Amino acid sequence: MIPRALATPAGDRNSRPLNCGPSLNKSSVGMHTSLMKLVCVLPVVLLVGCSSVDISNRDPFYDYVGRTVELREPVAVVGRRGYRSGRDGVPSRKSAAFGIVEGSGQGYGPVFSTLPAGHNVHIDSVWDEVAGDGQQIVAYGRTIIPPGTNEVRFAYVWGFIWVLSPAPWEPSGTPKKRAPPAQLPPHFNYEMFQPPPDAPKWGTKVREP
């Protein structure tokens, strides 16, 4: 998790944390305290079993947060769920009416619609979300889903285990994988989670308010 001292204060009043269950055991706490040292600016702190930190002010997120952007490729509109509730939909800690995913949406349960390339979405915030032994980088935004005429809130998983993938609103040529600003914590420091050695790093720059 990106240290809170370098993250934008949580101000997403339209979202609420979900119950993520019991606190971490000692080995998991060790993993999370290692992660707190990503940029070496905070002392080790004790974390509970789930957490969210607003990282909207870090690169590349600050280029999109607060803006309306066009999709460069179609996305499927699927459900949204909590990390410990069901299997269908995009998992996230904060509430949203839907999730969006690239491709056909297969594996996420019912597909409610498809948004074409060129469709406008507004990006509200990006969060580093930890739940138990899982981690995701989740973008929250708003869009109109035809035939509706009102904006609805969506969640989109931009990265997994701190490795960032191209979002559907990023330009073509965006690297397929971007590495976190420091080594993965021991709990996740396995080859299967590692980005390529030459992958560029995200999160190395902070935009002050």
Domain assignment present for residue 199? The answer is no
The domain in which residue 13 lies consists of 4-193
Q: How far apart are CA 209 and CA 203, in angstroms?
A: 16
Domain assignment present for residue 208? The answer is no
Domain assignment present for residue 102? The answer is yes
Domain assignment present for residue 201? The answer is no
pLDDT at site 192: 82
Q: Which residues contact 53 (CB under 8 A, 6 or more apart)?
A: 1, 2, 4, 7, 10, 127, 128
Domain assignment present for residue 200? The answer is no
- DSSP-assigned letters across all residues of 92-127: -SS--SEEEEETT-TTSS-EEEEEPTT-EEEEEEEE
Domain assignment present for residue 202? The answer is no
Domain assignment present for residue 62? The answer is yes
- List per-block mean pLDDT (blocks of 10 residues) for the chain, which spans 209 residues: 38 40 39 39 37 94 98 98 88 96 95 97 96 88 96 97 96 95 79 88 91
CB atoms within 10 A of CB 15: 19
3-state DSSP: the chain helix, strand, coil percent, rounded to 5?
10, 30, 60
Across 74-93, b (16+ Cβ under 10 Å) vs e yields: ebbbbbbbbbeeeeebbbbb
Instruction: From 167, 111, 102, select the one nearest 139 (Cα to Cα).
Output: 167
Q: How far apart are CA 18 and CA 8, in angstroms?
A: 20
Beta bridge partners of 101: 76
Looking at the structure of the chain, the number of domains it has is 1
Residue matched to tokens 């969506």 = 154
Domain assignment present for residue 29? The answer is yes
